[in-house]
Amino acid sequence: MTDTPAGTPAADAATPETPNPETPTLEIQGLRLNLPGAARPVLAGVDLTVAARETVALVGESGSGKSLTSRSVLRLLPPGAATEGAVRVQGEDVLTMNAKQLRRLRTHTAAMIFQDPRAAINPLRRIGDFLTESLRLNADLPAAEATERAVRMLDAVGLGDRVLGQYPGQLSGGMLQRVVIAAALMGDPALILADEPTTALDVTTQAEVVGLLGDLRDQFGTALLFVTHDLGLAAAISDRVYVMYAGRIAETGPAEALFQRPRHPYTAALLRSTPHLDAPAGRLAAIEGRPPSLREELTGCPFAARCAFATQQCREELPPHLPVRGESSRLVACHHSEKLADQLAGSVTHD
């Protein structure tokens, strides 16, 4: 495929903008993932970096592959999945780790916060057990010290040590998500992966949890990969954004620039379909059509079938990821990105 050579400079292009020029905390290069029974790769060459202490949002519709991308960082792959490419966390390739290294990665280096906190914790075990189990069972910390750390982490997320002895059934959804966040912090990770951490919560709790995540990121100095379908949320929390469509990155760049001047028709369409508090009602536009099914092979640009600007070239040729002229930190995979620049920017401005 043509996108792999183009993908490598992408990572380089992003580095100058990041605060830390050393090894990025997370570096995904040309990640392809095939599932048995699927006609096309579920992930078709994903490149993504998260620098130390950086917050990056990965945005896309359901089925775009954003969750799989984040799960691949912990090598939580569906059965039968075949991967190519590299997923490096602090320079080490996750996909080739042995079981012990993988456990170490999962306990200490990277942690994931899941969508539904009520499903994420075993209802038959106490919160204290949940918080400390991975440290205790890997014999990293004696039980007493693990509990001590659990108390500190609970304090950091605003919960008292009383919950240690409680069962998940005795806590509210918002409290449970705080517990899950505390659990993610237990191993002092360099990277937190948050997979739609607010979707299962009610609106007021959502804001609390997002705020908490931001605070903790600053306090503990972790990098954060925030997976969401909510562009507004992505803009609010992240430094940089990746927009994903059908297993590929459609566009990436600094959050503000990307939302002000989208360069990919898909990003623009997503923005138009997102409600804004400051925009008049009635301007929401759903994206026509559906994301491509895994049962059909794709030629050309995966978005071509739903794109208002698609040409013959789009349907036949896969667009490479190219830097946006004048904005070195942005990449976009669209044949007509230059031509459409003003049109797309105009379509999403609201004043």
Partner 1 sequence: MTFLRFALRRVAEMAATLLAASFVIFGALYLAPGNPASFLLSGRSASPEAMKAINEQYHLNDPFWEQYLRWLGQVVHGDFGRSIEYRTPVSTLLGSRLPSTLMLVAMALLLVVVIGLALGWIGAVRGGMTDSSILVTTTLAVGTPSFVAAVLLQGLFSVKLGWFPSSGSGTGFAGMLWHLTLPAIALALYLIGMLARVTRSTMLEAMGHEHVTVARSRGVPERQVIHRHVFRNTLGTVLTMGGLIVSTLLICTVLVETAFSVNGIGQLLDLSTTTKDFPVVQAVSLLIVGMFMTVNLVVDLLLPLVDPRVTLGTRGVSA
Residues found near partner 1 in the complex (CB under 8 A): 71, 74, 76, 102-108, 111-112, 114, 116, 119-125, 133-134, 137-138, 167, 169-170, 183, 187
What is the dihedral sign for C-alpha 278, 284, 286, 288? Answer: negative
CA 65 → CA 11, 93, 138, 170, distances in Å? Answer: 19, 20, 31, 34
Nearest distance in Å: CB 30, partner 1: 24
The residue among 29, 34, 27 whose CA lies nearest residue 50 is 27
Nearest distance in Å: CB 221, partner 1: 20
Nearest distance in Å: CB 107, partner 1: 4
**Which is nearer to partner 1, 123 or 160 (by Cβ)?**
123
Torsional class of 46: left (φ above 0), alpha (ψ -120 to 50), beta (otherwise):
beta
Given a contact cutoff of 8 angstroms between Cβ atoms, the answer to whether 94 and 102 are in contact is: yes
Nearest distance in Å: CB 168, partner 1: 9
**Which is nearer to partner 1, 15 or 138 (by Cβ)?**
138
Nearest distance in Å: CB 200, partner 1: 11
CB-CB neighbours of 20 under 10 Å: 13
Nearest distance in Å: CB 109, partner 1: 9
**Which is nearer to partner 1, 188 or 317 (by Cβ)?**
188
**Residue written as tokens 């539904």?**
116
DSSP E strands in the chain: the ranges are 26-34, 43-50, 55-59, 82-89, 92-93, 110-113, 191-195, 223-228, 240-245, 248-254, 322-324, 327-332
CB-CB neighbours of 151 under 10 Å: 18
The residues pairing with 93 across neighbouring beta strands, listed in sequence order, are 88
What is the dihedral sign for C-alpha 323, 329, 333, 334? Answer: negative
10 Å CB burial of residue 244 (0-12, 13-18, 19+) is buried
**Which is nearer to partner 1, 42 or 111 (by Cβ)?**
111
**Which is nearer to partner 1, 114 or 242 (by Cβ)?**
114
Find the helix packing angle between 143-156 and 127-137, rounded to 10°: 130
**Which is nearer to partner 1, 74 or 231 (by Cβ)?**
74
**Which is nearer to partner 1, 125 or 315 (by Cβ)?**
125
**Which is nearer to partner 1, 42 or 185 (by Cβ)?**
185
Nearest distance in Å: CB 112, partner 1: 5
The residue among 73, 68, 83 whose CA lies nearest residue 109 is 73
Nearest distance in Å: CB 186, partner 1: 8
